[in-house]
Amino acid sequence: MRTQVGIIGAGPAGLLLSHLLRLRGIESVVLERRSRAYVEQRVRAGVLEQATVDTLVDAGVGERLLREGLPHGGIELRYGGAGHRIDFEELVPGRSITVYGQQEVVKDLIAARLADGGDIRFEVDDVAVHSLSAEPYVTFGGERLDCDVIAGCDGFHGVCRPSIPAGVLTEFERDYPFAWLGVLARVKPSAEELVYARSERGFALHSMRSPEVSRFYLQVAAGEDLDAWPDERIWAELRARLETVPDFTLATGQIIEKGVTSMRSYVAEPMQYGRLYLAGDAAHIVPPTGAKGLNLAVADVRVLTEALAGFYADGSTELLDGYSRDCLKRVWRAQHFSWWMTTLLHTFDSDDAYGRRLQTSYLDYVTSSAAAATTLAENYVGMA
Ligand code: FAD
Ligand code: DHB
């Protein structure tokens, strides 16, 4: 079997790449180890930057996003017994975010690819990539796929990045001594916008998916066992961390999904080796506090699409050669922002009183200075 671009992974990066390439007349095959139902139900990110929304809408896959997505013009930072709004409309006019679940993006992309006759193979076993420096090919489940280029969109635990020979990549990494317990609940959101709450008990985030479904996250210990968190404990802890301002009552309801996400910062440089190009989580990970993971994956794919379109138009490798450089600038800005938001809002066991005072001082600065608030706002909605 032969195609132009072999894509490993049907997450947002792989699916969007396949769709954007098709709009440029470039063929691809997507190989995914999980089932369609699994990838469509995997609950993950929910905040789309303006540029991500624009990319999806321009690519013709934004109809449901525009109908069901929730546009937000600000977020709340809650600490020290008060809430403070960061007003995007005022600080970064014309740019905002939209709350729309990642699995909805995935569903929309799969539907579009299949409607166009796209080739997505789910539940493929033993994917391996070969001959990366020339005439690459992929093997899976006893089959072979020859291609011009391989796109490694297989997430952090995929096979593509580890297939690059030792010594080629430089890895940059930071671990955090905590994780996030994520919860989806059938209950009307208790606030109109996202609430990022710092408390002495740890960080909590109030988010949402629709007028009937709320999404919450709690800072918990790294490697925390889900069994230690029965629903009553989750609600009690969310209340303790979020009901810290006057006139806020947390509405509770049926918990329909919960999971623990580890927190890590990671970048592999360069994001390319021979004919293999890494995109999204396969190349970099951020802690979710800045809501950047999905948006970075989409940004990589935008750059890779242009580069591949240039290559297929006239054989030019100029954009492909610059792919890693062009992505890493944005990647590192998001790395810094995500690390900074994480550091600002979480409690660290190692924190002494001095460290906590520094956090409060910076939060006071961000919520009182237009310059500091603009720094947060422009990073949150996404740098141009
Ligand atoms: P992925 O979505 O990971 O997609 C990779 C795909 O490749 C998967 O479908 C996987 O099954 C497939 N795959 C892996 N290995 C193979 C193989 N060997 N062969 C074939 N296919 C393979 N970001 C936020 O901003 N906010 C959040 O709240 C948030 N929560 C998260 C929770 C979890 C549990 C995780 C893991 C991530 C979360 N993220 C969050 C990050 C965000 O979801 C990712 O940045 C985003 O999914 C990146 O998309 P991707 O397509 O690069 O990778
Ligand atoms: C959501 C996830 C995030 O990581 C974040 O920073 C904000 C919102 C969410 O899933 O809704």
Cα 138 to averaged position of ligand 2 atoms, centre (Å): 34
25: alpha, beta or left? (left if phi > 0; alpha if psi -120 to 50): left
Concatenating the DSSP letter of every residue in 307-372 gives: HHHHHHHH---HHHHTHHHHHHHHHHHHHHHHHHHHHHHS--TT--HHHHHHHHHHHHHHTT-HHH
The mean predicted confidence, pLDDT, of the chain is: 97
Cα 145 to averaged position of ligand 2 atoms, centre (Å): 37
- What local confidence, expressed as pLDDT, does residue 383 receive? 82
Tell how strand 82-87 and strand 74-79 pair up.
antiparallel
pLDDT at 235 over 80: yes
How many C-beta neighbours within 10 Å does residue 282 have?
30
Q: Give the helix/strand (H/E) hosting 119.
A: strand 119-121
Average pLDDT over residues 348-367: 90
Percent of the chain with pLDDT over 70: 99
Asked whether 194 lines ligand 2 (CB < 6 A), one says yes
Q: Give the helix/strand (H/E) hosting 262.
A: strand 254-269
Cα 84 to averaged position of ligand 1 atoms, centre (Å): 32
Alpha-carbon distance of 296 to 350, in angstroms, equals: 30
Ligand 2 atom having least distance to the Cα of 180 = 4
Which ligand has the shortest distance to the CA of 155? 1
Average pLDDT over residues 80-104: 96
pLDDT at 195 over 80: yes
Q: Contact, 219 vs 347, CB < 8 A?
A: yes
Asked whether 287 lines ligand 2 (CB < 6 A), one says no
Alpha-carbon distance of 325 to 271, in angstroms, equals: 8
Question: pLDDT for 313-334, tens place per residue?
Answer: 999 999 999 999 999 999 999 9
Which active-site residues does the annotation give? 72, 196, 288, 292, 380
Cα 46 to averaged position of ligand 2 atoms, centre (Å): 5
Burial (CB < 10 A; 0-12, 13-18, 19+), residue 221, is middle
User: How would you list the strands of the sheet with 143-146, edge to edge?
Assistant: 128-130, 137-140, 143-146
Chain Cα centroid distance, residue 81: 30
Question: pLDDT for 153-185, tens place per residue?
Answer: 999 999 999 999 999 999 999 999 999 999 999
Average pLDDT over residues 219-239: 97
174: alpha, beta or left? (left if phi > 0; alpha if psi -120 to 50): beta
Q: Contact, 138 vs 129, CB < 8 A?
A: yes
Beta strands in 50-92 (DSSP E): 70-72, 74-79, 82-87
Alpha-carbon distance of 182 to 99, in angstroms, equals: 16
**Which string of b and e fits 154-167 if b means at least 16 CB within 10 Å?**
bbbebbbbebbeee
Burial (CB < 10 A; 0-12, 13-18, 19+), residue 125, is exposed
- What local confidence, expressed as pLDDT, does residue 254 receive? 98
Q: What is the pTM of this model?
A: 0.97
The amino acid present at 72, given as its one-letter code, is: H
Q: Could you say which DSSP state residue 48 is in?
A: E
Predicted confidence band at 13 (pLDDT cuts at 50, 70, 90)? Answer: very high
Asked whether 209 lines ligand 2 (CB < 6 A), one says no
Asked whether 106 lines ligand 2 (CB < 6 A), one says no
Burial (CB < 10 A; 0-12, 13-18, 19+), residue 33, is buried
Question: pLDDT for 302-318, tens place per residue?
Answer: 999 999 999 999 999 99
pLDDT at 82 over 80: yes
The amino acid present at 280, given as its one-letter code, is: G
- What local confidence, expressed as pLDDT, does residue 353 receive? 87
Q: Contact, 119 vs 131, CB < 8 A?
A: no
Alpha-carbon distance of 135 to 130, in angstroms, equals: 9
Going by C-alpha positions, the residue among 238, 242, 260, 261 that lies closest to residue 195 is: 242
Pocket test for ligand 2, best of 42, 43, 44, 47 (most atoms within 8 A of CB): 47
pLDDT at 292 over 90: yes
Going by C-alpha positions, the residue among 103, 131, 150 that lies closest to residue 8 is: 150
Question: pLDDT for 110-131, tens place per residue?
Answer: 999 999 999 999 999 999 999 9
